[in-house]
Structures are given as C-alpha cells and as structure tokens.
Amino acid sequence: MTNNPVSNAAILKPLPLPELEDTLGRLRHAVSAVASNDQLVHTDEAIAAFKQQEGPRLQAQLREFAEEKEAENSSWLAEQWLDDYLDVRTSLPVTTNVGFQARIDVAGEGLDRVARVIRRIAEVHLMQARGQMPEERDFRDNPLSSTQWRCFNGGLR
C-alpha cells in the first residue's frame, strides 16, 4: 500500500468536532485555573452571551467546514495545525512536540557511509514525493493518516 492520503481514509475515523457546550465548558474550566473571581464572573457572562448569540451560528459553520474537509479525506483542524506549526520562529525542539529519529542502516565508514546515508535520505524523499511510502500503523495495528506528510513534498524546514 502506498502513502497516498486517500488510501486509508475509509478506515480512519474523522477527528471529532466537539459540541459547542463541551467547548465552552472546557474554556470555563481552563479560565477558572488562572482567573480572579471578578474575571471568572465576566467570563461566565461572556460565555452565556456567546452561547445564546454567535455560538450556534459559528458552530454550524464549523460543522459544515468539518464535513467538507472530511469529504476531502482531511480534518477540520489539519490546515490550522500545519499553519500554526510552520509559523513558529523560535527553537522548534522547545516549542513543538515533534521529534524524529532517523535509523539508517547502511554499512561503511567515513565518506563512504555519508554517501550511503545521503543516498538513502534521497530515496525516502523520492518515495514520499511519488506517493509510494508504505502505510504506517500504530501499535494496535490501526492505519495512520499520511496527510501530514504532504508538507515534506518538495522540501523540509
């Protein structure tokens, strides 16, 4: 199987869209950890107003957007996540949770080994660019979405 973003879309569950009530409850819980009593009262008022006014309309728009993205075998959060990740201009190891470990099993020493490593990196890059990467699975053997790998087509940051 290739690393085509649609190859395992029928098996993958879409990222759930939280209900408005759940989102507002989580917001209130997060704010309560750092807000004064007066700020919390103001927050409760703002949440109540949002819930009665703009909230339902915006939630409906978000649900429609999520359905469009699901039809494209994507997620309602994928583009925003990638934009936010790529906007970081500070040290990536400090500000993101991404880590890579390259295990490149090649023989040789010195320049011979360096040449073999570079060749292997190029081979993997070309496999990804051609959509020929093998399907990845998690520890429970569930297929993993490969859509986030598309940002590597053409270059790395």
Question: Taking a C-beta distance cutoff of 8 angstroms, is the pair 150, 7 a contact?
Answer: no
What's the per-residue H, E or C state across 98-125?
CCCCCCCCCCCCHHHHHHHHHHHHHHHH
In a domain, 15, yes or no: no
> Is the residue at 2 inside a domain?
no
pLDDT in tens, 50-104: 999 999 999 999 999 999 998 888 889 988 888 887 787 776 656 666 555 667 7
What number is the average pLDDT over the span 29-52? 97
* Total number of domains constituting the chain: 1
Structural domain that includes position 28: 20-152
Domain-embedded: residue 82: yes
Angle at 59 between CA 69 and CA 25, to 5 degrees: 120
Percent of the chain with pLDDT over 90: 39
> How far apart, in whole angstroms, are the C-alpha atoms of residue 64 and residue 92?
33
3-state SS, residue 143: strand
